[in-house]
Structure 1
Amino acid sequence: MSLEQRVQPLRLAEDAPADPGTADPRLPDPAPGAPRALRNTIVLAALAAAVVIAALVSAGVGQMQISVPEILASIFHRMGMDWGALPAHPHAESALWAIRFPRVLMAVVVGAALASAGVIMQGVFGNPLAEPSVVGVSAGAAAFACTSIALGLTFFGQWTTVVAAFLGGLVATCLVYLTARHAGRTEVVTLVLTGVAINAIAGAVIALMTFLGDSSAREEIVFWQLGSLNGTLWINVAIAGPIALAGILLACTMTRQLDLLALGERPARHLGVNVESLRRRIIVIVAFLTSAAVAFAGIIGFVGLVVPHILRMALGPGHRLLLPASALGGALLMLAADTAARTLVANADLPIGMLTALVGGPFFFWLIRRTRRGAGGWS
């Protein structure tokens, strides 16, 4: 059977009305009907509302408890509107605007960036185990960032660490792509082993920089290894936020191409997708998203693995919905993790990377077993 004959049913499916019961599950209808569009809108609205509620709750909990009405009153007061009673505690306003709000917004940025990077990595590799921390992208970004800290590099001013993290993430992503891809497919074992190798090399670089750096640099490097949002400032949000937002928006323009790539390289090329160009662009976007997160929060693993899989099981594989939903889901998970980090132990701030690893590690084991059973053995 020729390639044209194999692709023809896909073309017919694209012209047919959306029917969840008969449509190709790998290729969602590009023109969904009203019920599907309404469902997508409801899902995204519900996730966005959950993120807002979680952000308000997170901003109010801690050593100083502030109620949600007081938080809303403070926000409206800053906007020039009188609504409700301001926080009664004399230091509540300064705590909210100098400490908690920047941290809450950074949790949203980091969670959205890591989850979005996980979605598009899985899409471009065609592999459910691809995720920035698993395959070493986060570690590569951290290694370059730690090197800039330990050596005191200031080539780009306050952007030096961010630029270094981006270069590290880009190098690690390219290594993963060049090593794990073979004959148009990604081998699971090769992907995991590549991640092990990159994480090991990055860990050695970080250890060397810890040895070479002074006491101040060592403290910062420990922060990178554990992952934390403690001490987040507005300037950090102002730098990381636009980078993450730009990366997510660019990725959203490629959702249709990622859906076509799920059919295989040859059908995707036949349907007009420049596969190699798409992969190069995705690699750069993954590096941007990962660097935006790692540069200000350190290594926080498994967000890009857990969130996309949970939402893919609930919503389906179509990237048009999955990508924005994962961004919101990642923000929600990071808000929950950061709130837990600040409240589980009295007068202590636990590393967020530790908490996400405690959740993501068992999930990763389960996913490996599920992938192995579904494929009848690893490829």
Structure 2
Amino acid sequence: MSEHPSKEIVGTYGKELHGKKIVLCISASVAAYKAVDLSRLLMRHGADVHTVMSKSSKILLTPDLMKWATGNEVVDELTWKLEHIQLADYGKSDLIIYYPCTGNTLSKIANGIDDTPVTSIASVALGSKIPIMIAPAMHEAMYDNPVLKENIEKLKGLVEFIEPNITEGKAKVADPEFVLNKVLAKFQHNSKLREKNVLITAGATIEYIDPIRVVTNPASGKLGAAIAEEALRLDANVTVIYGQGSAVIPNVKVIRVKTSDEMMDAVVNELKSKNYDIAIMTAAVSDYKPVSPSSGKIDTKGNEQITVTLQTTSKIIDQVKKINTNTFLIAFKADYNVSNEQLVQAAYAKMKECHADFIVANDVGREGSQMGSDTLEVFMISKDKRIIHLPLQNKRDVARRLFEEVLIYF
């Protein structure tokens, strides 16, 4: 029989997990549905994913759905075939992930209780020394239970915990993308970005005309989000200063701002408080702001026409090298309907002006590269005048290529 069609996605996002066999253990949390997305993400990066489910989890997620998601048979009961040995004995798999992991399953693992397919996998894997990741999911009060905390402490050093997101009275399981990045980092021990501090600005800023009217631009923050995700995948410590935008930022430290002045303050504070190895300034900061914004709403009655006088905003990027000359500075230059030669020349001039080490230039007037799009055509230019042209492609791919080029200098 030919390969299951679901496996056609294997390696479509990258080959980092090629040849890796990952066992995905699902326990009975309402977050079990997220295991579908995680399995597919792992596969898209090259992994072969095998699912093991507890009996109770099948009430929330069907084995057939996981068979479809992974293209592999699902283990939901142990038989004479010794499925737990086949998957978790010495050298049988490369990684075991418990996603999501209930407090019940976690405590059973910590105390050597072996009464479900998922706990049997742990019993074998802890002996065979296959790496284990556990992503807890439960109510916050359960997560704060001192007995559970004791069980977590008992397992530390034996397994790697992926901390939940504490919100709305819940300890919600980490997002699939965050878990993916943890997995990728585990298998990329030679990452040049490991433990380096990376500061990213993203999105647009707004400048108030009055309390409810603003001057802004349609930047989405999607490129900044893609770069943050890639930096996280490479195991960097990432901070994002995020203005306005539609992009979802991955599980990193995010500082929200609105105006260019707020972004300036946030950037300066971060650069002074921490030694950042790389600063990536993707934000579309407003070039102008009203000289005298109104403190109250401007009434349209009697004001059919108004005059708003604008002044230039301060250049945030100029502060980076003033604060830390050792920070590797990556600038961005957006232009509109210019030739390739003009775009590169303008970008190189900006790079010298702000003392950047690398710059990415794009023309937002070109089809597919407009602000807010998912794709981008760019020119990457280094201080030593290397010019790399990337034709129109997904912003995620642009982010990957950016780090490939930049890490040459590390």
Shared fold per TM-score greater than 0.5: no
TM-score in terms of structure 1 length = 0.22
TM-score, with normalisation over the residues of structure 2? 0.21
Q: Which structure dedicates a bigger proportion of its chain to strand?
A: 2
- Name whichever structure is richer in helix by fraction: 1
Higher-Rg member (1/2): 2
